Structure 1
């Protein structure tokens, strides 16, 4: 990389003896890089007029040149024209930059194998989950972590809190204890705070297990992290009473109920001498009363995680995991009036649930088939039933914590490989819906100058981009067709720097990435939260009041304002949770995309 920088300086010294206008354009690339065998696209933001470009290697030698394509649209008044640059002919492994007429040189990017480029990204994502560990089993070398919330080992269960419709106001005057003690220690913090949700923990554990099962990346550290996630799910699920606990801690209260979101501190401070009692003894809330039907989205995700554990272990451990998965699945509410995700539900709004039961049943059937379980055929029939119900519902989305149908479909097709007409029909329905999800993203991408298939004005833009990238890979694996390969690659490119702001939205990936995440531990220790995926751009009017605490260390990175457009903003400031708060589900989705790309 130093060689490449020196070569560029030498080129400039030779060509810049006379004054030239300052660059007004910018080249946006996937800063991690491109696989040798995939379509490669970058974007040039600038003004009207023809623009040529060339790609230089580490020695400054031109290895590719061309002319920018036609305008893909206008981004803002400062950048009225965006053009695509086709780099697909670049297939020799190495490090490169793009030099374009009237533009600053692009960041350095690499061309190489999937394993070389994205295996390290999987490892970095695993490091984020290590940073998120709660309890006694922390990794001290990651953001200077210390054991925390040991009192969760004997926590009190409280009645489910009641909120107003928006989820902003706790209606209960105080929390009412109803049982315990229960051991809910360990697990992962959900995001930049210290709450723990079964909803996101089960989703994240399942995706890490899929990566462990289906891709070579990750190695022993990924396997250790899946065990850590499963160990906590084992605690929140009480096998003896049929009870699933949904949440540890509370994030929205009132004048009398203090919450996790009312203080900015290191997690170990919660149990230090003189700590706030409300934080020292955190409440636990159930998903349902013991033995009663469990919200199917929660039951489905937890059962799927246990069933995947049965597929990635052997012997008695596999049989125990399958048994837990079956028990949780059997308690799923088949006619829910409302779904439980978190308290309040507004923290993680979700409308679909048949997809979760399809996911659970498909994973149960795959595990059952491997272990010779007589219930396998019944689970396979169930999976087909829930798939049909989901496809007939009005809650069809794309891959993310709120819709796991892509994962369910991709594994369910494995159960219908007999070659019969009925099996082929079922496979077609499933793969057609994978295509539908990608077509939905593609329809949105057509109207975006940077070909993003995600909505800049909604939360979770980045994880949805990684979800589309993952779905394209799942579709290719299920069908053997590469119809959506280029589109899926574009979505990964967008998330890693080929976007208006020129920032990767995974910390440490590339050269420009969030430096000031809203994450209490990273902020207070001053250490980099490598591997964390953040929300990315969001609706501009959400940034009127940054989050501020007296104990928060001020941190603001580069000003990206000139690149805001189409009603969207990206703000790299520790108080801008709307853009730069990392989360487990975001990072798990990125990890699976990277793992499948590394194959």
Structure 2
């Protein structure tokens, strides 16, 4: 949520004090220096707060305020006994004024443990768990599912400690508008209705606000359905507590409302998050409230607003991408085709009529992709999600259509029934991506799905008997490896993170890279990449400079003050009780943000930034409800974490689609 009408904090510059000390006084003072003790070295231990797997090499990190040597460590069980010990390793680098050292250990027995160091520096870690991967990460998957359930909009919400009522029921009869002209992220003309109304109820809120975008939904649903299909015992029917099947269907249902297959029309957004220059109408980002008040919203006096200024709060607009049957931005077309083709794969046995409908939609939307685009369509305004790459999305969509068609027993009326057609298309788009302008410029996240598409296409080529195509399995592997190695080489993080923490959307990139490492390790049977996947998951879950798990509810220290309206108004802000568990926040970036609205609950209450002393290397993390840049969760930011956890538990997908 990028707040409008921000009240930005002022920067203050302090001049150093001037001292005028006589030479004799200085000499007298220095004669006492030898009698004073040396300044103590401060140390912090950074760990994967969810825990470590039994009998698997583990790594924590010691960061010290001054360089040290000959530091001993002890891993201590809940009875106070040392189970293993050793010497802290050679420094891995520096982080600001801190020096960072690895602590390598292995524990054979499950239980609760902590690490203690002694010598030139003395400190202890939080308590952590050592157990099987299933026991370590299953609750994290439960938390992720609960996050999406708490993000549900519309009448089909799920009551919880945070959610007590449905919101935005007026979306069921929403007016459709043309995409408005936007300059400098402001709408510069009155909205122009098309004369249509659609049912846009349901779906997940995008982030800490209440907007809904096909852009982020389509990415989230693709990863969720992939997990349901590939990890049925972790994310599908085989799990009693973290079965995402119904949640994926909930997301699919909203996407099917936004794609009218009968008229071949795509609607891509519900609500407005930016301001007008032509009138005083307010947007979603101008208010702080619970969702259930919007349908009949009356502005509190503290807002200074009138009912006349909120027409798009009570009755939210829907934006259409173009006339019926017109070409569709290929990033959206590719991902939607993947979503609907995955729908067919997941539901063809349990709900064949639903699956058949999905498959027909997948082919229709894929065929309408505009493969000579200018600026991609994402959301209005584009700057909220400035995506530039799309060939990866077309690769993913074509690959999932191949998997859907090759199974046989297809529904009637499909424009294409030959699976090899889509395999050829997928390979062509993979080649276009690898030889295109953005290869190795990004890793798996909302803006680049090649980290999943390459993995899927590799398996599809194997299933097809390795035919001659525009790309080979070796080329796909090489590109996956290059993406990871390029990211790691640019990171320079002494804690082993695969991405520089100042780059933005850092938390989602780390989980995406952990997924990519698991995929690559599986395809190549390489244990070194499994180690990378484990270590990078640890970076996300607390083994970082701030000692914070950037997933709410996972670990012992996580964001308390997220920029999320429901969590801020209805939830706990001390890390206990009613938190938005499973939510992945933006994470550290190059700057924090600030801005307040009436109704915000101040968090932290005292305003103290307890993590400021760990900011370095251009990276900033701030646990404050005003800082959307570091502390806002979103459905796309969270999406890769569920696959990361499923990979950590299962180690491999459940067969080939």
**Superposition TM-score, scaled by structure 2 size:** 0.84
Q: 2 CA distance for matches of 1:371 and 1:24?
A: 64
Q: 2 CA distance for matches of 1:108 and 1:560?
A: 20
Which of the residues 39, 53, 57 maps onto 2:73? 53
CA contact (8 A) 2:395 2:427 kept: yes
Which range moves more in the overlay, 507-516 or 213-222?
A: 213-222
Which of the residues 623, 628, 633 maps onto 1:572? 623
Q: 2 CA distance for matches of 1:384 and 1:555?
A: 50
Q: Which runs of 5+ in 1 are unaligned?
A: 1-18
Q: CA deviation at 1:424?
A: 12
For residues 248-272 of structure 1, the C-alpha deviation after alignment (integer angstroms, 9 at most, x for no partner) is: 0011122524211011111111113
The structure 1 segments of at least 4 consecutive aligned residues displaced by more than 3 Å after TM superposition are 19-23, 218-221, 273-276, 418-425
Q: How does 1:249-398 map to 2 (within 5 A)?
A: 249-255=271-277, 256=279, 257-272=281-296, 274=298, 276-314=310-348, 315-373=352-410, 374-396=417-439, 397-398=442-443
Query: Cα distance 1:424–1:160, how it changes in 2: closer, same or farther (>3 A)?
Result: closer
Are 2:475 and 1:429 equivalent residues in the alignment?
A: yes
Are 2:572 and 1:555 equivalent residues in the alignment?
A: no
Which of the residues 161, 164, 179 maps onto 2:195? 179
* SS of alignment partner, residue 129 of structure 2: strand
CA contact (8 A) 1:38 1:486 kept: no
Aligned to 1:139: 158
Q: How does 1:163-562 map to 2 (within 5 A)?
A: 163-164=182-183, 167-170=184-187, 172-215=188-231, 216-218=233-235, 219=239, 221-255=243-277, 256=279, 257-272=281-296, 274=298, 276-314=310-348, 315-373=352-410, 374-396=417-439, 397-417=442-462, 420=466, 422=468, 426-445=472-491, 447-526=492-571, 527-539=578-590, 542-543=591-592, 546-556=594-604, 559-562=610-613
Q: 1 CA distance for matches of 2:196 and 2:469?
A: 48
Q: CA deviation at 1:370?
A: 1.7
* SS of alignment partner, residue 442 of structure 1: helix
CA contact (8 A) 1:131 1:142 kept: no
Query: Cα distance 1:474–1:179, how it changes in 2: closer, same or farther (>3 A)?
Result: farther
Q: 2 CA distance for matches of 1:20 and 1:130?
A: 54
CA contact (8 A) 1:127 1:142 kept: no
Q: 2 CA distance for matches of 1:362 and 1:252?
A: 36
User: How many residues of Structure 1 are paired with residues of Structure 2 in the alignment?
Assistant: 571
Q: CA deviation at 1:162?
A: 2.0
* SS of alignment partner, residue 342 of structure 1: coil
Query: Highest Rg: 1 or 2?
Result: 2
CA contact (8 A) 1:190 1:583 kept: yes
Q: How does 1:78-89 map to 2 (within 5 A)?
A: 79=98, 81-87=99-105, 89=106
Aligned to 1:72: 92
Q: 2 CA distance for matches of 1:277 and 1:405?
A: 40
Query: Cα distance 1:264–1:206, how it changes in 2: closer, same or farther (>3 A)?
Result: same
Query: Cα distance 1:312–1:419, how it changes in 2: closer, same or farther (>3 A)?
Result: closer
CA contact (8 A) 1:130 1:142 kept: no
RMSD, aligned CA? 1.9
CA contact (8 A) 1:138 1:146 kept: yes
* SS of alignment partner, residue 472 of structure 2: helix
Q: CA deviation at 1:372?
A: 4.6
Aligned to 1:12: none
Aligned to 2:414: none
Q: 1 CA distance for matches of 2:254 and 2:40?
A: 55
Q: 2 CA distance for matches of 1:150 and 1:174?
A: 24
Q: Which runs of 5+ in 2 are unaligned?
A: 1-36, 300-309, 411-416, 572-577, 651-657
CA contact (8 A) 2:297 2:313 kept: no
For residues 505-553 of structure 1, the C-alpha deviation after alignment (integer angstroms, 9 at most, x for no partner) is: 00011110001100001111124111100011111xx33x512012101
Query: Cα distance 1:433–1:453, how it changes in 2: closer, same or farther (>3 A)?
Result: same
Aligned to 1:130: 149
Q: 1 CA distance for matches of 2:648 and 2:618?
A: 32
CA contact (8 A) 1:131 1:145 kept: no
Which range moves more in the overlay, 332-341 or 96-105?
A: 96-105
**Superposition TM-score, scaled by structure 1 size:** 0.92
CA contact (8 A) 1:306 1:325 kept: yes
Aligned to 2:43: 25
Q: CA deviation at 1:409?
A: 0.9
CA contact (8 A) 1:214 1:596 kept: no
Q: 1 CA distance for matches of 2:408 and 2:117?
A: 58
